[in-house]
Amino acid sequence: MALWYRIVQERWAAAALDGEGARLHGGRWNPPGMPAVYLAQSRALAALEILVHAPREALRMEWRVIAVEVPDSMIQPVAVKRLPAGWQEQPSSPAARRFGGAWLATGDGLAMELPSVIVPQERALLLNPRHSAAARLKPAKAERFVFDPRL
């Protein structure tokens, strides 16, 4: 069983695994209207995800990091060669959203392991909050996370 990480603003910590933000706005691997939760292989990668998406002034807000144990048996790894062309485009490509959206729509899997766009050698996890096993995940207590002011 591996630990995966998510960094969220303090006000969203209690709902960090509901997928509502991704449902409202979409993400790299999900279209708007489809809930999803994004987790990172490390705290550092989770921080990089915030850094590339949030305006710099947001880094001074109150943040929390949440560790989530996800059973290895519930994670479906995806090889880069199976990903759609342009999956790493900026902003998120429609092909990547269709790929992840199709997986989420089946409801068959709890989590899909994908390469990070920021650091392709690192892994990100797309979690399906509608999967029956999602309710059994027990995130650790949210801990304070402070971005170094030099960032």
67 to each of 15, 37, 62, 81, 149, how far by Cα in Å? Answer: 14, 13, 17, 29, 23
Q: Residue 31 — very low, low, confident or very high, per pLDDT cuts 50/70/90? A: very high
Q: Which domain holds residue 66?
A: 2-145
151 in a structural domain:
no
Q: Are residues 131 and 70 in contact, defined by beta-carbon separation less than 8 angstroms? A: no
CA pair distance 12, 38, nearest whole angstrom: 14
Rounded Cα–Cα distance for residues 101 and 81 (Å): 18
Q: Is residue 91 part of a domain?
A: yes
Tens digits of residue pLDDT in 98-132: 999 999 999 899 999 999 999 999 999 999 999 99
Res 149: pLDDT: 86
**Per the domain annotation, does 94 fall within a domain?**
yes
pTM over 0.75: yes
The count of structural domains within the chain is 1
Task: Answer with the residue of higher pLDDT: 97 or 56.
Answer: 97
In a domain, 117, yes or no: yes
110, 128 in Cβ contact below 8 A?
Answer: yes
